[in-house]
Amino acid sequence: MTDEDLRAAVESFVDDVDLALHEYEEGYADADATLTVVQSHLADLREVVEEDGSE
């Protein structure tokens, strides 16, 4: 995995979490749903980082 791939994964994570938090702030999602979304994206990011470390 290249630095560019890792950077893209981090940017995607930040964008997705920002969207989830925005939806929560606007009242479109409750706290539990928002936290579930954030945890899911965090798990995806961890997976990418772990893959990067195994090279």
pLDDT in tens, 1-55: 788 888 999 999 999 999 999 999 999 999 999 999 999 999 999 998 888 776 5
Amino acid letter for position 42: L
Query: How high is the pLDDT of residue 43?
Result: 95
End-to-end, the C-alpha distance of the chain in Å comes to: 8
Query: How high is the pLDDT of residue 50?
Result: 87
Picking from 5, 32, 8, 7, the residue whose alpha carbon sits closest to that of residue 20 is 32
What predicted TM-score, i.e. pTM, was given to this entire model? Answer: 0.81
Query: How high is the pLDDT of residue 54?
Result: 62
Give the separation between CA 15 and CA 21, rounded to whole angstroms: 10
